[in-house]
Amino acid sequence: MIPTNYAEVLTPKHLLEYDEKSNVPVEIPLIMPYGYSDGGGGPTWEMMIYRDQLLGLNNKIKEIDKDEVVKAYMDHRDKLPVVTDDLLLEIHKGTLTTNHLIKDLVAKAEAFLRSAEIAEALTKKKGPDYLWKKLLLHTFHDVLPGTSIPETYHEARKDLEEVISSAEEIIKRNIAGAGEGITLYNDLPWTRPGLVIVTDKCIGGEKIEYCTPIGWEEYLVKTMPIQGIGATWSIAGEPVNSGEAYLDIADAITMGNEYLELKLSLTGEILSLKDDHGTNYLNEPSNLLLVHLDRPPMFDAWELDPSGLMNGQPLEPLDKPKILSNSGGAACVEFSKKTGRSVVRMRICLFSGSPLVRIDIDLDWRDRLRYLRSWFEPDIWTDKAWFEIPFGAVSRPTMPDDPKKYALLYEVPALRWMDLSDGEKGLAIISLHKHGYTVFGDKIGLTLHKAPIVPIHIVVSGSLG
């Protein structure tokens, strides 16, 4: 074990404890950074006095530069422990969710910059490196985790919105056609029949199959296949009813399309989810929104209180379900709920030709020391779940056999999706902007919102995606 921290207190007692915890080979120097980091300050005068005295009294302690450290590790790397596993942090699990706005802006900026870079490559222009650098500045600790002070976020929001708008301009400059309308741009290297959501108005054109309203001032557009990386110029069009999505409300709500049939409660829980072969994927009501008490003993914005993990309270319904679309192209229904002073709108949609259930959350959150979760119970039993990580995916146990692993696994990170499969069937949850998951057996939780007070209390109003 190498007990290196980034802000140690430099006293003889602390240095001795530090040395005793280590099992690093004697040939490799044990690095001890010292000073106060969080909140600033650096080394104190007391630390500097101890440093001068210790350097003169003990030949085990010396100043060392980075080249010596790297050389020592390389020369003796065969003596270092090798870990082949998922490296998870036991603490700071609240940072997977805290401050939705900054995580949303970073995710959008990454997506727009990727598309902008491809658009520049198509015209043999230099990529937007300066925008990547600005984006990466705001992925630094503590900005992206959501644990910085308000002034940080005033600057970060401004910069990230500029990154997104600049990337959009690059795409338009290189891809968009002339005149008024919307350009549909497929930057993936394979053909895609498009299901595209646009705002404000419907669009039509040569390659548009249909356009239908789905509520929330949005429209679903079904396009003909777009070949590789290309663009389709579209003009204003009228809504067209077409497709095989349907919705019916009675004692419960039934929705379906070519691939799926859903049964929903009148408060938005998914009671059953069956494919076109009649296979059911859920064991218990799912998409269950619960509010959990969140009172970590310290580091409010950083931590997630696990004591209330299995004891959430359901939200109260505000209104009857509202049909937003039943056009054949889309079946969409809206639910309204409340908890305390906070209001949640939820839209559930099935689109014709798609095996996905789309769930959108619009949140006006004004309560503190709470977190909001969506719970699912698939009819799938397996000993591991899969999670997307940078450059790949990793499996994690669904039922930890070691109590120590519980501290690691009660909330785990994923980039954009997690999957629970048993070889016969599977269920994936895809969330572009929410990254904190709990999986216990066949029970899956996704943390949607966390409302800390320190170092910043945020009132959230808007879509969570």
- Do residue 381 and residue 427 come from a single domain? yes
- Do residue 157 and residue 283 come from a single domain? no
| Within-domain flag for 183 | no
- Do residue 62 and residue 209 come from a single domain? no
| Within-domain flag for 182 | no
pLDDT in tens, 313-354: 999 999 999 999 999 999 999 999 999 999 999 999 999 999
Task: State the pLDDT confidence band at 6, using cuts at 50, 70 and 90.
Answer: low
User: Which of 175, 198, 223 corresponds to the end of one domain?
Assistant: 175
| Within-domain flag for 241 | no
The answer to whether residue 308 scores a pLDDT higher than 60 is: yes
| Within-domain flag for 121 | yes
Rounded Cα gap, residues 329 and 350, in angstroms: 9
pLDDT in tens, 172-187: 888 776 556 677 778 8
CATH of the domain at 137: 1.20.1270.50
| Within-domain flag for 297 | yes
- Do residue 221 and residue 345 come from a single domain? no
Q: What pLDDT is stored for residue 5 in this prediction?
A: 65
- Stretch 401-416: mean pLDDT, rounded? 83
pLDDT in tens, 433-447: 899 999 988 899 999
Residues 6+ apart with CB under 8 A from 184: 194, 196, 207, 221, 223, 226, 231, 232, 234
Task: State the pLDDT confidence band at 462, using cuts at 50, 70 and 90.
Answer: low
- Do residue 69 and residue 119 come from a single domain? no
Domains contained in the chain, number: 4
- Do residue 98 and residue 155 come from a single domain? yes
- Do residue 366 and residue 401 come from a single domain? yes
| Within-domain flag for 204 | yes
CATH of the domain at 302: 2.70.98.30
- Do residue 37 and residue 138 come from a single domain? no
- Do residue 266 and residue 353 come from a single domain? yes
| Within-domain flag for 112 | yes
The answer to whether residue 137 scores a pLDDT higher than 90 is: yes
- Do residue 380 and residue 273 come from a single domain? yes
Domain with 218 in it: 188-236
Q: What pLDDT is stored for residue 209 in this prediction?
A: 83
- Do residue 417 and residue 449 come from a single domain? yes
| Within-domain flag for 338 | yes
3-state secondary structure the chain: CCCCCCCECCCHHHHHHHHHHCCCCCCCCCCCCECECCCCCECCHHHHHHHHHHHHHCCCCCCCCHHHHHHHHHHCHHHCCCCCCCCCCCCCHHHHCCCHHHHHHHHHHHHHHHHHHHHHHHCCCCCCHHHHHHHHHCCCCCCCCCCCCHHHHHHHHHHHHHHHHHHHHHHHHHHCCCCCCEEEEECCCCCECCEEEEECCCEECCCEEEEEEEECCEEEEEECCECCCEEEEEEECCCCCCCCCEEEECCCEEEECCCEEEEECCCCCEEEEEECCCCECECCCECEEEEEECCCCCCCCCCCCHHHCCCCEECEECCCCEEEEECCCEEEEEEEEEECCEEEEEEEEEECCCCCEEEEEEEEECCCCEEEEEEECECCCCCEEEEEECCEEEEEECCCCCHHHHHHHCCEECCCEEEEECCCCEEEEECCCCCEEEEECCEEEEEEEECCCCCCCCCEEEECC
CA 291 to chain centre: 19
- 410-400-373 Cα angle (round to 5): 25
The answer to whether residue 206 scores a pLDDT higher than 80 is: no
User: Which of 151, 175, 199 corresponds to the end of one domain?
Assistant: 175
- Stretch 69-81: mean pLDDT, rounded? 88
- Do residue 224 and residue 270 come from a single domain? no
User: Which of 26, 61, 82 corresponds to the end of one domain?
Assistant: 82
Buried b (16+ CB within 10 A) or exposed e, 318-356: eeebeebbbbbbbbbbbbbbebeebbbbbbbbbbbebee
Of residues 94 and 123, more confidence is placed in 94
